[in-house]
Structure 1
Amino acid sequence: MTTTHHLPAGKAAAGPYAVDISPESAGWGHSSLRVLELPPGGWHSFDTGDSEWIVLPLAGSCTVAVEGKTFRLAGRRSVFTSVSDFVYVPRDAQVSLASRDGGRFALTGARCTRRLPARHQPASAVPVELRGTGNCSRQVNNFGAAGVFECDQLIAVEVITPGGNWSSFPPHKHDEHRPGEESELEEIYYFEIADHEGTPGLGYQRVSPSGHGQGTDVLAEVRDGDSVLIPDGWHGPSMAVPGHDMYYLNVMAGPGAERDWLICDHPDHGWIRGTWQGQPVDPRLPLYTAPEKS
């Protein structure tokens, strides 16, 4: 098993960031993730460089200033309480974040060529999808999904798995370019795990070799603030232990000309999808829905 692809909380910290994963540090070409923690009254500025970014509140609210515009993000109390609004910022720009009450903010990034305009997306425009049934049920907040929100290369979604459930199942991959069938995408998983009356939670993440690329092989116990890098391979399941809901943020990008999320199921496990039709979704889901449009 490789350990270089599992980054426990703190291992990927750098400078002002609790998590700082760049193409250079990951050893690949496209995907980035930063997690910024601001104290009350705190602020931070950064250059977007050759990448486009989405500023997504994980906990708290903030303002985002870019290109003479200031966007106010209402944010949320935590990833387990509500969908959040977010701001897209383009490459080759200077960005400033400020938070009156402090908070934790994800910066999801991808190297790109097109320069799209900065803009705010309200929480009411985020589609909330339920996937799977029974103990394979999970909730997906498709805030930055392909076909939902326009980016040049970046794809980003949130997944919430109730305690005791399996998600990212059946295992799937996207490490080859096969037109109309599979996209080539690097992926980052960033985890937050709900505690229980102050007791920390945990989960497990599996990545197995697909026979393409580096043959990534990971079986990791993941805890709050951990990240897993997936340059290739079958990824899944992501397992939430009973009593502790699991959240993960997926960040994806690749070299393809088309911004698509096309996956291939593991041939030994893809049959499970055929058992879902007509079966009930876990009644604990959705944990929440997007607010109605005002």
Structure 2
Amino acid sequence: MSTPQVLAKGWEQIKPVDAGWTYVSFAVKVLAPGETLELLANDQERALVPLSGVAEATAAGASWTFGGRQSVFDGLGHCLYLPRDTAVTVTATTALELAVAEAPATEKHEPVLVTPDDIGIELRGGGNASRQVGSLMLPDFPADRLHVVEVWTPGGNWSSYPPHKHEHDVEGESELEETYYYRLRDPENGWAVQRVYSPERDFELIQTVRDGELLLIPWGYHTTVAAHGHDLYYLNVLAGPAPERTLQAFQDPCLRGTQDAWEAEGIDSRLPFIPRHPST
């Protein structure tokens, strides 16, 4: 298995053979208006998330038109879930950035289109560890292994805090491979800092991350902080071997107590700062 690492902007797609793991594949496809993307039927279930633009997808005798935001900071996302053994043709109605997440599936479920109206506007944390979460595919979603979550963090705030890990299938924790795909509201100048660490492996990664980069987390505690003045988004994809769908995480016991003050501090007053739908 590989170690946690950040892939610089310019990566194209990550498959398990590239990441040194078993389950998660991830890509971002950029299509011009009218251009099509063909994905063949195989043993992978898929989640299609427009980062910007509008997509039309045809699969399993049905079609869906979805997306519509101009950037990930304009509104909550859409997600089209497609089960294994399903070929799909995606046509860009407008200029389109499309995230494609995949994981091997044993069970075949039904296609599902998740829209912003299906998503709760969830605020997590407290104080300067406050962030906004849009859960596209949680454990109760009718899929096999894939989980997909959008997270927005205001500039200066911590995210995925307290640090936690998805490393072992034990009581209170699940084994999950995980990717973070970063976007910054200011893509030219924005940045954040990512930490992944594992005391038991004597491993430490602390790295500046920028717009369009991708983090691979096969193991280890992880947390992210957005630079002051630079709002951060990341698309979080997880999948693993657990027989039941779960996102159980084990928090770093040294920092778990930091959330005890959140109730008194309250949620950052800037939140929520992403509307359900793009403003007109």
Q: In the aligned structure 1, how far is the partner of 2:105 from the partner of 2:259?
A: 34
Q: Residue 4 and residue 67 in structure 1: after superposition, are their counterparts in 2 closer, same or farther (change >3 A)?
A: same
After superposition, where does 1:33-112 map in structure 2 within 5 Å?
33-112=26-105
SS in 1 for 2:156: coil
Q: Which residue of 1 aligns with 2:183?
A: 192
> Of 243, 249, 253, which aligns to 1:267?
253
Residues 1:223 and 1:36: Cα distance change in structure 2 (over 3 Å): same
Q: Following TM superposition, by how much is the alpha carbon of 1:102 offset from its aligned partner in structure 2, in angstroms? A: 1.3
CA distance in 2, matches of 1:253, 1:171: 19
Match of 1:121 among 86, 106, 114: 114
Paired residues of 1:173 and 1:234 also in contact (CA < 8 A): yes
| TM score, norm. by length of structure 2 | 0.94
Percent of aligned pairs with the same residue?
37
**Residues 181-260 of structure 1: matches in 2 within 5 Å?**
181-195=172-186, 199-211=188-200, 217-236=204-223, 238-260=224-246
- Cα 1:209–1:245 change in 2 (3 A) is same
Residues 58 and 106, structure 1, Cα contact 8 Å, conserved in 2: yes
Distance in 2 separating the partners of 1:70 and 1:199 = 36
> Across the two proteins, how many residue pairs are aligned to each other?
276
SS in 2 for 1:190: strand
In structure 2, what residue type is equivalent to 1:8? A
Could you give the per-residue CA deviations for residues 189-208 of structure 1, whole angstroms, max 9, x where no partner exists?
1100111xx74211110100
Aligned residues of 1:216 and 1:231 also touching (Cα < 8 A) = no
More moved, 266-275 vs 277-286: 277-286
Structure 2 letter corresponding to 1:276: W
Q: 1:170 to 1:188 in 2, by over 3 A?
A: same
The letter for the 1-side match of 2:113 is H
Paired residue type of 1:227: L
Match for residue 17 of structure 1? none
Q: Deviations over 1:166-213 (max 9, x none)?
A: 11111101101113x110101001100111xx742111101001526x
Question: Separation in 1 of the partners of 2:203 and 2:36?
Answer: 37
Superposed CA offset, 1:95-118 (max 9, x none): 111112111011122111011112
SS in structure 1 of the partner of residue 117 of structure 2: helix
SS of alignment partner, residue 162 of structure 2: coil
What residue is the counterpart of 1:16 in the other structure? none
Q: In the TM superposition, what are the counterparts of 1:6-45 in structure 2 within 5 Å?
A: 6-10=6-10, 12-13=11-12, 20-45=13-38
TM-score by length of 1: 0.89
Computed over aligned residues only, the root mean square deviation of the Cα atoms, in angstroms, reads 1.7
**Corresponding letter in the other structure for 2:118:** A
Q: CA deviation at 1:249?
A: 0.8
CA distance in 2, matches of 1:61, 1:101: 6
Are positions 1:143 and 2:136 aligned together? yes
Shift of 1:289: 4.1
Change (3 A) 1:217 1:109: farther
Distance 1:48 1:289, change over 3 A: farther
Q: CA deviation at 1:90?
A: 1.2
Q: Distance in 1 between matches of 2:120 and 2:101?
A: 18
- C-alpha distance in 2, partners of 1:130/1:60? 26
Matches within 5 A, 1:277-288: 277-288=263-274
> Does the residue aligned with 1:182 lie in a helix, a strand or coil?
coil
The residue that corresponds to 2:156 in the other structure is: 164
Q: Which moved more, 1:183-192 or 1:115-124?
A: 115-124
Q: Mark the runs of 5 or more structure 2 residues left unpaired by the alignment.
A: none
Q: Which runs of 5+ in 1 are unaligned?
A: 14-19
